[in-house]
Chains A and B, each alone.
Chain A
Amino acid sequence: MKKLALIFISIILIASIAVGCTNEEGNSELDTPQGNKEVVNVYTDRHYDTDEELYKTFTEETGIKVNIVKADSDELIERLSREGESTEADVLITADAGRLDRAKQKELLQSVESETLSKNVPDNLKDVDSTWYGLTVRGRVIVYSKDRVNPDELSTYQDLTSEKWNGKVLVRSSSNIYNQSLLSSFIELYGEEEAEKWAKGIVNNMARNPQGNDRDQAKAVVAGEGDLAIMNTYYMGKMLNSSDPQEVEVANEVGVFFPNQNTDGTHINVSGAGVTKNAKNPEQGIKLIEFLSSEKAQEQFAEANYEYPVNDNVNPSELLQSWGDFNTQDINLSTLGEHNTDAVKIFDRVGWK
């Protein structure tokens, strides 16, 4: 017993010393940004292992080392704004256009003019003032039970509020950013009043109180708690490739439907990146974003999360192609951020938990 305690304590001590050394190493690199080694410091809310591999490739090609802090976008933006002029971050990457717009509104990003980026990223997927560029696209779609629902019955997001779907609709809570952005797009397209009517209609038709994440909505469809779920395309991709065979089975029992194809198009959102206003290595930052938008990186960057690439020269993965092409909402994605607060307030008013 005594021995064990001793061993434990010595492991801890050795470990502490080890981490002390490695941290000094890490800092000395940060300490000399003007040294031989070029760096780019990134704040990101994307957590995929494949992203790390892309950064490695980038370092191999350009010699620029990529340093990463990963956290939720809201907190990263808050950290960035509190660090102010002295921040060490050069690039901000988030998985939601609304958040990128918020960073822009807080004057945390700078305009970047780059031929490569204008060529690689379509205009509707970037900021009007070029403070950020979209890098991957996902749709928020309707997922239905193949057993009980004929896809011909489905048409639009608006149709989900009709009588026939009473008690059949599954969706997660309104504290989720994807729901907020969806409603924001409706505010932009149809005005606040219509958007509120829609949200109210969905609340009336909910199969249960909002709970769980997107995957749980698909499971609930298969379990028969409801017939339809609103969820992001990439969660379908993830379930189909899950390490849990049961989840794969569930995903196979539901179908993907792109709503509003004959009207305003399906709601989409992007992961995107921008160079911070007070970047110490802005050129390296631009290089990184250019690299991520390049044909070479796009495939991997999008596929990491079963998303669609923004670069038109790159095809989506086979799985996504199998769902077919679809029309997207024709709005500037910056508006998702502008309407976010109103969207949240609408959710509160209609009682969407």
Chain B
Amino acid sequence: MISMGKIRKNVNLWSILSTLIILVIIITNLNIIQNLFNKPNDNWTHIREYLLKDYLINTGLLILFTGVISLIIGTSLGWIITVFEFPLRRIFKWALVLPMAIPPYIGAYTYSGILDYTGIIQIFLRERLGLTINQGYFDIMNIPGAVFIFSILLYPYIYLITKSFLEKQSSSLIENGRVLGNNPFQIFIKILLPISRPAIIGGVSLVVLEVLNDYGVVKYFGIPVFSTAIFKSWFSFGDIDSAIRLSSVLLTIVFFVLILEKILRGRKKYSFSNSKIRPIKRYKIKGISKWIVFLYSLLILSLGFIIPTLQLIRWSIMSFTSVLDYEFIRLIINSISVATITTLLIIIIAIVISNFNRIESGLISKIYSKITSIGYSIPGVVIAMAVILLLVKVDNSLYGVYKIFNSNTPKLVMSTSVFMLIFAYIIRFLAIGFNPIESGFDKIGKQFFEASRTLGKNVTTTFLKVDLIMLKPAIITGFILVFVDILKELPLTLILRPFNFNTLATKSFEYANDEMVQEAAISSMLIIIISAIAIYALFSLENKEVK
């Protein structure tokens, strides 16, 4: 039982704000949850009989392999970049984030464009070497192909989070490990992996959710997965109940996994409490191992970024005369400003809730932190519909208020403006911003907070003077993840945009959807360039602090 006294003690700005935000998220998703209790119908029987088993297996395979492979790539790169000194390390450090700027469906088009009959490789083999080619060797449109596309484009989620975590790790841990005679690899396995587990798990769960939500890659490759079943029941059967039932099966699985992880982690809090955050002294490796590390980084960067980008540039050159015009300036402005505004809001909200969670280590905070990821676990289209329903209701009830300001006002004000889009982005991407910031707080732990409180500062002052400064790397990580994700976001932007509002992502989709990949290349390139500038700029901010 919670006594009144405890509640009163815990009511402050942070708890009120957090509760408000959580309530908004719950209300938005209420009509999704509501439909869960409707009785199953014929369509559900059909789905269960013909689809569910295969679709679950495909989805399971995709998640498992993408999860494991991107985990290996992401953590190994995070470790290499943090503890070793090797050629071009400073460039790799931020360039290795770039693959996440390529929307996976564009990556899928690009790779199949490189490998298919009219692709550059087959043309070379056919026309220069005169070989007849077994198409099977170049077929990427299958489950292993999809795993490749996802892993190589999504590992940066894990890399970024792991790296920013390790970088700020007390270097004394590593030094102690060294003194005790461990080699770098042993230190990685015995010390760094366990200590960065929350960060890694956070990153992996982002990747898994991203894969669960993808529709573009699997549709193009012809792999039926869970989200196919959701779309099928919704659009082909016109059966929202079954679609939502499927979404909630998905949601339950995701929740179960996340909570299980939290339980397993249990009381093992590895937060360090060293007031001196010193940069890690990197190993200067020599000889062959230096080049192995270098080539490994180069390989991943090539597969995830350089090769697809070269193909996109090649296509851009083919098509720019027919596509490029002044409208692109407007597209760039729209994309950047919406992404920036939303990202800032998400970061603020994520900080509020995770700070509240840290102070309040009870059941409520655990529930809150899970609720923030609801939006990321449900397919974007389902979220979009929930948001429309909510905002149309709000608009209708505020009609009287609108009339005071403008007698001619239409009923729908919020739901025909960019507000709806931003609102939906926040619901959807909160998890992305929340994850790194929560693990940032996890790492800082409570000691500094408690010390400051003991010295008579209140929660807010403590936050501004102590936590925010220590949290900076986590904030930068969160900012990059959310910003790039919104730049390339599709279903929400397509459905919820106001009249005449286009972004780079929608433009690129419009061409790709008409099977005009060459024309889609320019907008995709612009998304990549903007992301690259943002990533570079944010990394410079971070570096400044390390010096």
Binding site for B on A (CB under 8 A): 1-2, 4-5, 8-9, 11-12, 15-16, 18-20, 23, 26-27, 30-35, 41, 47-48, 67-72, 74-76, 78-79, 82-84, 86-88, 102, 172-173, 175, 180, 209-216, 219-220, 222-225, 235, 238, 242-244, 246-247, 249-250, 280, 305, 340-341, 344-345, 348-349, 353
Contacts and interface: CB of A to CB of B under 8 A. Distances in A.
Contacts of B51: 348
Nearest to B321: A243
A63 B131 CA distance: 60
Interface string B191-204: 00000000000000
Contact of B224 (A32, A345, A353): A353
Contact of A83 (B237, B381, B412, B499): B412
B340 A15 contact: yes
A86 B412 contact: yes
A345 B48 CA distance: 12
Given A5-B537, A5-B538, A71-B494, A280 B337 contact: no
B495 A71 contact: yes
Nearest to A84: B392
Contacts of A9: 537
Contacts of A175: 219, 224, 228, 231-232
B408 interface: yes
A243 B500 contact: no
Contacts, number: 205
Contact of A180 (B112, B224, B236, B384): B236
A280 B418 contact: no
Contacts of A34: 408
A246 B336 CA distance: 35
B289 interface: no
B60 interface: no
A180 B236 CA distance: 9
A214 B533 CA distance: 36
A55 B236 CA distance: 31
29 contacts: A1-B540, A4-B537, A5-B541, A18-B337, A19-B333, A23-B498, A27-B416, A27-B498, A31-B409, A47-B514, A48-B514, A75-B494, A75-B495, A82-B385, A88-B410, A88-B499, A173-B222, A173-B224, A212-B220, A223-B135, A224-B135, A238-B514, A243-B518, A244-B315, A244-B318, A244-B518, A246-B118, A246-B123, A345-B46
A69 B46 contact: no
Contact of B510 (A33, A47, A235): A47
A70 B141 contact: no
Given A180-B236, A223-B117, A238-B515, A18 B417 contact: no
Which of B410, B413, B536 neighbours the largest number of chain A CB atoms within 10 Å of its CB? B410
Interface residues of B, number: 84
Given A1-B544, A102-B238, A70 B510 contact: yes
A32 B238 CA distance: 35
A238 B337 CA distance: 34
Name A's interface SS: helix
Contact of B236 (A30, A172, A213, A341): A341
Going nearest first, the 3 A-B pairs with the smallest beta carbon separation are A47-B510, A67-B499, A246-B118
Given A86-B395, A212-B112, A79 B515 contact: no
Given A210-B222, A213-B220, A216-B112, A8 B533 contact: yes
A74 B235 contact: yes
Given A19-B333, A349-B50, 9 more contacts: A23-B417, A33-B410, A47-B511, A47-B514, A48-B514, A70-B510, A75-B491, A82-B389, A243-B519
Interface in B209-244: 219-222, 224, 228, 231-232, 234-238
A30 B416 contact: yes
Given A175-B224, A212-B112, A225 B337 contact: no
B76 interface: no
Interface string B364-399: 000000000000000001001100110010011000
A16 B341 CA distance: 7
A2 B519 CA distance: 36
Nearest to A16: B337
Interface in B464-499: 491, 494-495, 497-499
B371 to A, nearest CB: 23
B338 A8 contact: no
Contacts of A20: 337
A79 B499 contact: no
Interface in B29-48: 46
Contacts of A214: 515
B117 A86 contact: no
Interface in B55-97: none
Contact of B410 (A8, A215, A280): A280
B516 interface: yes
Given A41-B499, A211-B142, A16 B340 contact: yes
B172 interface: no
Contacts of A247: 118
Contacts of B533: 8
A336 to B, nearest CB: 13
Contacts of B338: 19
Contacts of A225: 135
Nearest to A41: B499
A2 B540 CA distance: 7
Contacts of B235: 74
Nearest to B416: A88
Contacts of B524: none
Interface in B90-142: 112, 116-118, 122-123, 133, 135, 139, 141-142
Contacts of B141: 211-212, 216
B224 A1 contact: no
Given A79-B388, A86-B411, A18 B333 contact: yes
B222 A209 contact: yes
Contacts of B222: 172-173, 209-212, 353
Contacts of A26: 498-501
A243 B408 contact: no
Contacts of A238: 514-516
A5 B318 CA distance: 33
Given A15-B337, A75-B381, A82-B392, A220 B117 contact: yes
B227 to A, nearest CB: 11
B506 interface: yes
Contacts of A172: 222
B15 interface: no
Contacts of B139: 211
A172 B112 CA distance: 15
Contacts of A47: 510-511, 513-514
A27 to B, nearest CB: 6
Contacts of A223: 116-117, 122, 133, 135
A150 to B, nearest CB: 23
A269 B349 CA distance: 48
B499 A222 contact: no
A200 to B, nearest CB: 14
Contacts of B408: 31-35
B319 interface: yes
Contact of B536 (A4, A76, A82, A348): A4
Nearest to A216: B116
B18 interface: no
A279 to B, nearest CB: 12
A348 B340 contact: no
A246 B113 CA distance: 11
B135 A220 contact: yes
Interface in B405-449: 406, 408-413, 415-418
B183 interface: no
